[in-house]
A and B are shown apart, each in its own frame.
Chain A
Amino acid sequence: KQEVTQIPAALSVPEGENLVLNCSFTDSAIYNLQWFRQDPGKGLTSLLLIQSSQREQTSGRLNASLDKSSGRSTLYIAASQPGDSATYLCAAPVNDYKLSFGAGTTVTVRA
């Protein structure tokens, strides 16, 4: 069974500071890991998908790393902006088609 944990549950930073969001998973035999963003009252938007063969994946100011051996992934957001305020969720595969989601980290970027 794949269990995904995200700590902390909430984070508040001043604008311009770099963000570090953590995700841990129990079953390291994964073939990928995904990060999603969820805005209040909206669905999820896929941000990054890291294949197990990769160590990192980058998109703009976002960088995600994956360490299967330790069961951890980290999402870095550089030079945070108020528009980055949202809940960030990571998800690891349970099997070929099902994802197990963490509860998310709610980020507030103060102007």
Chain B
Amino acid sequence: EAGVAQSPRYKIIEKRQSVAFWCNPISGHATLYWYQQILGQGPKLLIQFQNNGVVDDSQLPKDRFSAERLKGVDSTLKIQPAKLEDSAVYLCASSPGQGIGSDTQYFGPGTRLTVL
């Protein structure tokens, strides 16, 4: 079974530029998550999709971040414009069920973003 795929693995941009990350979850997984992990901290949930609907985006900075999950499969996370404090690893995860706390989440390798 293929795991969660993410691209790119690394990205370096200047502040105020835009960037997009892509995630392909495990086939058949209904729930998809985007997390932000700042160095030395645990992952923080940015947005959770169930199929192609948003379950929770309360911690997504909506003035600069956007995310979509077309057709309930792949997802894209965009930052426009980027700030220095957006430097972090962006993790995508998926789970087979409805995303309840007991669902096992499967994580991708992450995209490391550096904003200069």
Q: Which residues of A contact B (CB under 8 A)?
A: 4, 9, 31-32, 41-46, 49, 51, 89, 91, 93, 95-104
Contact = CB atoms under 8 A, between A and B. Distances in A.
Interface of B: 4, 40-45, 48, 55-56, 91, 93, 98-102, 104-110, 112
Contact of B56 (A42, A43, A97): A97
B94 to A, nearest CB: 11
Contacts of A43: 4, 91, 93, 107-110
Given A49-B104, A97-B101, A103 B93 contact: no
Contacts of A100: 42
A98 B42 contact: no
B42 A4 contact: yes
Given A98-B45, A102-B42, A46 B101 contact: no
A43 B106 CA distance: 9
Contacts of B108: 43
B interface secondary structure, majority: loop
Given A49-B104, A51-B102, A103-B40, A97 B55 contact: yes
A47 to B, nearest CB: 11
20 contacts: A31-B101, A32-B101, A41-B109, A42-B109, A42-B110, A43-B91, A43-B93, A44-B43, A44-B105, A46-B106, A49-B104, A51-B102, A93-B101, A96-B100, A96-B101, A97-B48, A97-B56, A97-B98, A97-B100, A98-B56
Contacts of A99: 45, 101, 105
B33 to A, nearest CB: 9
Given A44-B105, A51-B102, A96-B100, 4 more contacts: A43-B109, A98-B45, A98-B48, A100-B42
B84 to A, nearest CB: 21
